[in-house]
Amino acid sequence: MVKFVLSVSSLFFPDWHACCCFGHRVADCVKHNWLLPEYIEDVLPPLSWRLESVRRAILDLFWRHGYELVQPPLLEYLESLLTGTGHDLDLKTFKLIDQLSGRHMGLRADITPQAARIDAHLMNNQGVNRLCYSGSVLQTRPDSMLGTREPLQIGAELFGHAGLESDFEIQTLMVNALALAGAGNVFIDLGHVAIFRALVSQTAQSSAREMDLFQALQSKDTRLLAELTSDLEPALAKALCALPELNGGPAVLDHATSRLPAGVEIANALNDLKRLGKMLNQRGIRVSYDLAELRGYSYHSGIVFAAYAEGYRDAVAKGGRYDEVGKAFGRARSATGFSIDLREVLSTGEVPGRVGILAPYRADDAILAERVAALRNAGERVVVELPGSVSDAAELGLDRRLVFEAGVWHVKPFLLV
C-alpha pair distances (Å), 3 with each of 6, 110: 10, 27
Q: How far is CA 315 from the centre of its chain?
A: 9
Return the axis-axis angle of helices 264-282 and 251-259, rounded to nearest 10°.
180
pTM of the model: 0.86
What confidence tens digit (pLDDT) does each residue in 324-333 have? 776 667 777 8
378-402 mean pLDDT: 90
166-185 mean pLDDT: 96
State the pLDDT at residue 392.
Answer: 82
What confidence tens digit (pLDDT) does each residue in 36-67 have? 999 999 998 888 999 999 999 999 999 999 99
The DSSP secondary-structure symbol of 328 reads G
C-alpha pair distances (Å), 55 with each of 40, 50, 109, 221, 245: 20, 8, 19, 38, 38
Q: In the chain, count of helices (H) and strands (E)?
A: 16, 16
| Single-letter amino acid code for the residue at 63 | W
Split at pLDDT 50, 70, 90, the class of 16 is very low
3-class secondary structure for 188-203? Answer: EEEEEHHHHHHHHCCC
Kindly tell me if the per-residue pLDDT of 12 is higher than 50: no
Split at pLDDT 50, 70, 90, the class of 203 is confident
CATH 3.30.930.10 domain range(s) in the chain: 47-346
Average pLDDT, the chain: 87
Domain made up of 47-346: CATH architecture: 2-Layer Sandwich (3.30)
The residue with greater pLDDT, 217 or 327, is 217
Kindly tell me if the per-residue pLDDT of 10 is higher than 80: no
What confidence tens digit (pLDDT) does each residue in 177-197 have? 999 999 989 999 999 999 999
What confidence tens digit (pLDDT) does each residue in 288-329 have? 999 998 876 677 889 999 999 999 989 999 999 998 776 667
CA distance 131 to 59: 11
The alpha helices in 16-82, defined as continuous H runs, are: 26-29, 47-64, 78-82
The DSSP secondary-structure symbol of 243 reads G
Q: Are 199 and 225 in contact (CB under 8 A)?
A: no
Return the axis-axis angle of helices 47-64 and 164-180, rounded to nearest 10°.
150
